[in-house]
Amino acid sequence: MRAITSLEIGVQAPERSAVSDLGVGGRILLVDDRPSSYERLAPVLSAEHTVDVEPNPTEALFHAAEGNYDLLIVSLSLENYDGLRLCSQARSLERTRQIPILAIADADNNPRLLRGLEIGVNDYLMRPVDKNELLARARTQVRRRRYTDHLRDNVQHSIEAAITDGLTGLHNRRYMESHLETLAEQAATRGKPLALMMLDIDFFKSINDNHGHDCGDDVLREFAVRIRKSIRGIDLACRYGGEEFVIVMPETDMHVASMVAERLRRSIAGEPFSIDKGNKRIEVTISIGLSTLEKKGEPVAAVLKRADVALYRAKHDGRNRVVA
Ligand code: GH3
Ligand code: MG
Ligand code: MG
Ligand code: MG
């Protein structure tokens, strides 16, 4: 990234997190190419925010897309460039669309200001700029920006929590069951196979009994890590219940699924789990039941049921084995 023509203002912006709800401590990019203007505005703003000044709108757009800014302040009456065009470009680019824009307009140029408002400028100031008004309007935009970021993070977070198993970070059963429907439909439509693996840790109850429930949890987490390492990006792994897991493998037939399952079974049995912060190593084995989607339109519950029956047989036949 090319260097920004930042002014050495020497005023430290307040700590961001501590004061974020006040709308100060923001990162502002001031796009202005008249020294008489920015040499006055930047120091005012930097009393409350971190300010970069960029006289060239093309560069400004580049920085705005890369620089994690809370606010763009754009002079509409740049000497050498078109400030309106910058506003319009910032609104059309994915990475800058959400950044609020505060325009600074000349009092004698109302048509340009109206165009700016149409383009989606969030607020404006008229020259000569009143310092207190500049600060107040900047604060409002920074606060709004922080608030929408906060909302977006919260929504994102709730969605993730709703589909994730808290202990292992894998998907949860609810998500798997709803997504399995989609994967089965896709497989049927495209004429591709779909395999499903149901895995259960052998004698997990005695792991809990012998080492404690927390160590049992460690085993579950470590198992999830190993599952993740052994599957592809398009596979879907979930914690189905207590110590039972399901892996859905699109575009995989029974032959390949058996090889994947056998490799995983062997790697679990062959490498003891390091738990309790590395203080304990315990041997773990798993049993696996396999099934595939048999025909178009088959209910996914039937596919799950066949894997469950196969798993039951693997247990019955002596555990630490794969049954199709
Ligand atoms: P099998 O080989 O037949 O699968 O025997 P098992 O002992 O693994 O199976 P069983 O179903 O009898 O016991 C499962 C145990 O898993 C019982 C339950 O207390 C324990 N469990 C379920 N969820 C958790 C969990 O989140 N953490 C821990 N530590 N234990 C759990
Ligand atoms: Mg059981
Ligand atoms: Mg078990
Ligand atoms: Mg079980």
**Each residue of 269-324: pLDDT tens digit?**
999 999 989 899 999 999 999 999 998 889 999 999 999 999 999 999 999 999 99
Q: What's the gap in Å between 175 CA and the centre of ligand 4?
A: 19
Q: Averaged over 28-57, what is the pLDDT?
A: 95
Rounded to two decimals, the ipTM of the complex is: 0.97
| Ligand number with the minimum distance to the CA of 204 | 1
Q: Which residues surround ligand 4, an ion (CB under 5 A)?
A: 200, 244
Label residue 251 by pLDDT band (50, 70, 90): very high
* 284 CB within 6 A, ligand 1: no
Label residue 21 by pLDDT band (50, 70, 90): low
Q: Averaged over 251-276, what is the pLDDT?
A: 96
pLDDT at 242 over 50: yes
What's the pLDDT score for residue 106?
86
pLDDT at 213 over 80: yes
Q: Averaged over 258-269, what is the pLDDT?
A: 97
Question: For a pLDDT cut of 70, what percent of the chain falls above it?
Answer: 94
Q: What's the gap in Å between 201 CA and the centre of ligand 3?
A: 4
Torsions phi, psi of 183, nearest 5?
Answer: -65, -40
**Which of 173, 204, 210, 244 best tests ligand 1's pocket when mutated (most atoms within 8 Å of CB)?**
204
8 Å CB contact between 253 and 293: no
**Weakest-pLDDT range from 156-165, 210-219, 308-317:** 156-165
What's the pLDDT score for residue 78?
73
Q: Which residues participate in catalysis according to the annotation?
A: 243
Average pLDDT, the chain: 90
Q: Averaged over 13-24, what is the pLDDT?
A: 57
Q: For residue 291, what are the β-bridge partners?
A: 196
* Nearest-CA residue for atom 15 of ligand 1: 205
**Each residue of 31-41: pLDDT tens digit?**
998 999 999 99
pLDDT at 110 over 50: yes
* 216 CB within 6 A, ligand 1: yes
pLDDT at 1 over 80: no
Label residue 108 by pLDDT band (50, 70, 90): confident
* Nearest-CA residue for atom 31 of ligand 1: 242
Label residue 67 by pLDDT band (50, 70, 90): confident
* 243 CB within 6 A, ligand 1: yes
Q: What is the dihedral of CA 69, 75, 81, 86, to 10 degrees?
A: 40
**Each residue of 189-205: pLDDT tens digit?**
999 999 999 999 999 99
